[in-house]
Amino acid sequence: MHRFIFLASLLFLLPTWATEKLSSINLLIADTTISVEIALTTEQMKTGLMYRKELPQNSGMLFVFQQPTSVCMWMKNTLIPLSVAFITDNGIVTNVEDMQAESLDLHCAHLPVKYVLEMNAGWFSQKNIKPGTHIPIFKKVSSDLLVRN
């Protein structure tokens, strides 16, 4: 009986990522259609891609901030290596960083950004996306998200 109560308690304490369904959107970037989950709330951003064992090809997570901000990312409890692009409100990539799984190293935007896009490790270099690359789709993303929410 004690074992059942313990297991039931664990289920109750599961993080919100296990039950919360995030909105997703398809974007066209570098002639590739990608599917990204949208992290808008503080809780969604804190959880990010934690605990996932895989990320499908051309899939990722887009963090959308209310206004441009200085931001750093880390890989606590993130089981897969990722690359991250920091993107200004006008769609300019400030920097791209490769992040190792389960690392607590900080990867920070070089300038205040409105968007952070996480993809599988190496995705941005494969698509030749680097600092200074313009991604005009992000203006559209802001409009679409405002309409959806």
Question: 34 lies in a domain?
Answer: yes
Q: Could you tell me the CA-to-CA distances from 69 to 17, 111, 138 in Å, in that order? A: 24, 8, 16
Question: 71 lies in a domain?
Answer: yes
Question: 9 lies in a domain?
Answer: no
Question: 7 lies in a domain?
Answer: no
Question: 81 lies in a domain?
Answer: yes
pLDDT attached to residue 138: 61
Confidence band, pLDDT 50/70/90 cuts, at residue 144 = low
Nearest one of 134, 128, 123, 131 to 58, comparing CA atoms = 123
* Predicted confidence (pLDDT) at residue 3 exceeds the cutoff of 80: no
CATH number at residue 48: 2.60.120.1140
Overall domain count for the chain? 1
Print the domain residue range for 107: 16-148
* Predicted confidence (pLDDT) at residue 140 exceeds the cutoff of 50: yes
Confidence band, pLDDT 50/70/90 cuts, at residue 46 = very high
pLDDT attached to residue 146: 46
Q: How much is the average pLDDT of 59-81?
A: 95
Neighbouring residues of 63: CB distance < 8 A, sequence distance ≥ 6:
39, 45, 48, 71, 115, 116, 117, 118
Q: Considering only 16-25, 28-37, 66-75, which range has the smallest mean pLDDT?
A: 16-25
Q: Give the residue, 149 or 68, on which the prediction is more confident.
A: 68
Question: 100 lies in a domain?
Answer: yes
Question: 2 lies in a domain?
Answer: no
Q: Give 14-36 as a DSSP string.
A: --GGGTPPPPEEEEEETTEEEEE
Question: 4 lies in a domain?
Answer: no
In tens, the pLDDT along 110-130 reads: 999 999 999 999 999 999 999
